[in-house]
């Protein structure tokens, strides 16, 4: 991060809402993209980002390292995403009829249009951990060490999950 960004973080920690807004404007697209790829629902992605931003704004005074703002925001967002995914599972468990489950899945699939990209169709079939790791590594460019800090896993676990997910995705694409 540059010195101006670090100054902005310091101002935001001191309660400057405009400084926080400037910081948010630097990361909001990436936050939304990560949430959208993982939640597969525009409204839920927006809600997750909003919740993460509200939490970050109220607790930015606790951020010790000015250069860690972006990773800190993604860590907060990751918690929101996982909470929402647990909610999906809980709601899915309440559906008793297989047709109901399939219709809900079809409706969710219609909510996001990826322009017919085959890779995104297959990407959506990965489990939530695989999507999260790949979205952070391949899409956002984080290293396995950075992802480990964000997700609370070890770097080796992140690398293993990413490798398995890439193999799985490649296989699904070859089978098309």
In tens, the pLDDT along 16-35 reads 999 999 999 999 999 999 99
- 67-81, 88-102, 120-134: least confident range: 88-102
**How far from 31 is each of 130, 140, 170, CA to CA, in Å?**
17, 10, 26
pTM given for the model: 0.67
Q: Which domains does the chain possess?
A: 1-112 (1.10.1740.10), 114-176 (1.10.10.10)
Tell me the two tokens of residue 54. 């509200």
Tell me the two tokens of residue 127. 């489990």
pLDDT in tens, 103-123: 544 554 444 444 345 677 788
């Amino acid at each position: 991060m540059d010195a101006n960004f670090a100054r902005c973080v310091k101002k935001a920690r001191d309660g400057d809402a405009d400084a926080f807004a400037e910081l948010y404007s630097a990361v909001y697209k990436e936050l939304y993209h990560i949430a959208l790829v993982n939640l597969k629902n525009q409204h839920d992605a927006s809600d997750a980002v909003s919740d993460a931003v509200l939490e970050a704004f109220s607790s930015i005074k606790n951020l010790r390292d000015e250069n860690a703002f972006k990773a800190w925001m993604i860590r907060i967002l990751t918690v929101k995403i996982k909470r929402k995914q647990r909610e999906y599972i809980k709601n899915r468990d309440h559906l008793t009829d297989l047709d109901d489950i399939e219709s809900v899945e079809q409706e969710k699939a219609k909510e996001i249009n990826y322009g017919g990209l085959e890779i995104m169709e297959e990407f959506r079939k990965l489990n939530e951990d695989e999507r999260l790791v790949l979205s952070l590594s391949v899409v956002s460019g984080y290293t396995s060490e950075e992802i480990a800090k964000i997700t609370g896993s070890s770097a080796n676990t992140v690398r293993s999950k990413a490798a398995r997910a890439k193999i799985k995705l490649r296989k699904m694409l070859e089978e098309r």
